[in-house]
Amino acid sequence: MKKIIVLHCMIFPGLFSAGAYAQVSTASVTFNVVLANFASIAVSSSDVSVALNYTNQTNYANGVSLTQLQALTVQSESGFTVKTYAGGDLAGPSANTLPAVDFSVLPTADPAVTGVTPVSTPVYFPNTSANAATIIHSTVGVTSAMFDLTYAGPGSTGTPSSNDFLGKPAGTYTTTVYYLLYQP
């Protein structure tokens, strides 16, 4: 048996000594990944107008609401806050107004989005940017997060109250609602 092993090593010496003659050379590259900040907020093009219609006594008594599905999209590489405010009270016929703070919005997040916390109760619209109210907060970035928005107007009980509307002429009352995206 010893003779076979020795003979084997003598017949095939290259198999056992090839590593002794190998050469190694190296090359390298500088590999960079460049990250940039990104943030955007958009209202769906089909949801750029909201109409809360008070058409009968039941609407004045109970209030009205309208939910727009996937109405607001936020994209941000880091944590963020979304705030809202109205551009002033709602202007109507014959220089009449309705208080913006009588109306509210409630965002609802897609359940698949994690780390994002919309408010859990309706937020009434402040009528200045200095008093913009937080409606969504996130500690993490999102490539795209969609939110349903439920807009509501008051009924006759509670505060605010549709009693603010009594004695006002019929017609359309209008303001602009703004959504602001902040990154820390």
Domain containing 53 equals 39-182
- Kindly write down the DSSP assignment for every residue of 19-74, as one continuous string: GGG-----------------EEEEE-GGGS-------SHHHHHH-EEEEEEEEEEE
Gyration radius of the chain's alpha carbons: 33
Amino acid, single-letter form, for residue 86: A
Q: What is the pLDDT of residue 139?
A: 93
Q: What is the pTM of this model?
A: 0.82
- The whole-angstrom separation of Cα 114 and Cα 141 is 10
Q: What is the pLDDT of residue 113?
A: 82
Select from 99, 114, 117 the least CA-distant residue to 164.
99
Amino acid, single-letter form, for residue 116: V
Q: Which residues pair with 136 in a beta bridge?
A: 82, 118
Q: What is the pLDDT of residue 7?
A: 45
Q: What is the pLDDT of residue 19?
A: 54
Count of beta carbons in the 10 Å neighbourhood of residue 70: 13
Q: What is the pLDDT of residue 21?
A: 66
**pLDDT < 70 stretches in the chain:** 1-21
Domain count, the chain: 1
Q: What is the pLDDT of residue 12?
A: 52
CATH (domain of 135) = 2.60.40
